[in-house]
Amino acid sequence: MKVIFEDEFILILDKPSGITVNRSETTLNEKTVQDFVEEKFKIPDEYKDSDFYKRSGIVHRIDKETSGILLVGKTKEAFEDLQKQFKERTVEKAYIALVHGKVVPQEGEIISPVGRLPWNRKRFGVLAGGREALTTYKVLEVKYLQKDRGEEALSLLEVKPKTGRTHQIRVHLKSFGHPVFSDVLYGGRKTSRDDRRFLGRLFLHAAKIEFMHPISGKKVSYQSEISQDLKDFLGQLR
d(CA 111, CA 165): 12
Please give the pLDDT value at position 121. 83
Q: Which long-range contacts (CB under 8 A, 24 or more apart) does 31-38 make?
A: 33/1, 33/58, 33/70, 34/58, 36/1, 37/11, 37/13, 37/72
45 is catalytic: no
Determine the 3-state secondary structure of 220 from DSSP.
strand
Which domains, and CATH codes, for the chain?
2-235 (3.30.2350.10)
Strand partners, 144: 153
d(CA 206, CA 219): 19
How sure is the predictor about 147, in pLDDT bands with cuts at 50, 70 and 90? confident
pLDDT (tens digit per residue) in 37-47 = 999 998 999 99
d(CA 204, CA 199): 12
d(CA 160, CA 180): 14
pLDDT (tens digit per residue) in 101-137 = 999 999 999 999 999 999 888 899 999 989 999 999 9
Is it the case that residue 24 has pLDDT exceeding 90? no
Segment among 9-18, 52-61, 84-93, 119-128 with least mean pLDDT: 119-128
Q: 35, 49, 63, 195: which one is catalytic?
A: 63
d(CA 207, CA 22): 20
Q: Are 197 and 145 in contact (CB under 8 A)?
A: no
Please give the pLDDT value at position 235. 96
**Dihedral pair phi/psi, residue 50, rounded to 5°:** -95, 160
Task: Give the global pTM.
Answer: 0.94
